[in-house]
Amino acid sequence: MKLLAISDTYIPAEVMAAGLASLEELGVEVEVRSWEHGTLVELQRANLAIEQGGPGAVALPPALIEGVGEFEVVVVQFAPLGRTVLERASRLKAIGVLRGGTENVDVAGATERGVAVLNTPGRLARAVAECTVGLMLTEIRNLARGHARLMGGQWDRAFPNSEDIPELYRRTVGLVGYGAVGRLVARYLEAFGCRILTYDPYLEGDPAPAIRSDLATLLVESDVVSLHARLSAETQHLIGAGELGRMKPTAILVNTARSGLIDEAALIEALAERQIMGAALDVFDREPLPPDHPFLRLDNVTLTPHLAGSTRDGFRNSPVLMAGHLARLLRGERPLPVVNGVQPRL
């Protein structure tokens, strides 16, 4: 059986090959090809275009998909697999995506062809969860603003929230979305002594240490609202002007998930008018963030350049996790992280 893996700047070819090497013991011939970008920024720009426009928004170089009809499995992280590629992959049985989201794959097209699509849930969960808590503290305690002022020669402790700087202890944090990242954030916040609410319509089982909530209640009661939901047609602009209007004027909003979960224009207005105290954002509708963007004129935001999941550990472990899923697939073991309901047969 032949497997084609397409590496990228975040998971280079040697890391991809090493992570999938265990499959060779099961008779899998692994070939790694590299989707090259000059910088991480260029890759992020391509990834954002794919997330917003679908897998057909960015074309792969022809050399990357040459002879794709010979492979039964294709493994990618960010590389797009659109309808054109799938039509040429006549022997394809399974696609492995080295992240939780599958926006870079034509899942509907794969389903029509009986191709199973597997993801890698939770592969960067710890990295994103740790960064999320860091952003909460950074925004509430003015860590980035204080640093920037000192670097500019100012000893200044006057901030937008100077009259009401809280501790996380006994504060209410609302988590919108309670998958792998949300659950880890909840565990970290439990150690801070927080009361934790969660809204997730797909949540099953006991959410402890969080308390199940509806969205309206969560927004009204939370001192921190943190987003961890998947972006879909249902969750696009889940947080808009109405939702921001329900939040406490002393509350902050944190987003390390997808920018489309928030109506950016509504958030900018809410921050400018002090409807909420502040926000900490790692994702944006336009990336890189343009130098004239309204966010950059606000004094009550903490902004980071889409780096929440960017840890060496998380990226290097992704091919290893997928190799484990594919090994179980070859051995006929279940369950598997199949996102489109097609049971793969290899």
Q: How far is CA 318 from CA 14, 89, 238, in A?
A: 13, 24, 29
E-state strands within 21-150: 29-34, 73-76, 94-97, 116-118
- 3-state class (DSSP) for residue 226: strand
List, in order, residues 6 or more apart from 150 with CB less than 8 Å away: none
User: Which H/E stretch holds residue 212?
Assistant: strand 211-212
CA dihedral 161, 164, 165, 170 (to 10 degrees): -140
List residues with catalytic annotation. 258, 287, 306
Check if the beta carbon of residue 60 is closer than 8 Å to that of residue 76: no
Map residue 27 onto helix, strand or coil.
coil
For 172, the enclosing helix (H) or strand (E) is: strand 172-176
Query: How far are the Cα atoms of 29, 120, 257, 281, 342 from residue 183, in angstroms, in the given order?
Result: 37, 16, 14, 19, 28
Closest CA to 261 of 222, 279, 280, 234: 234
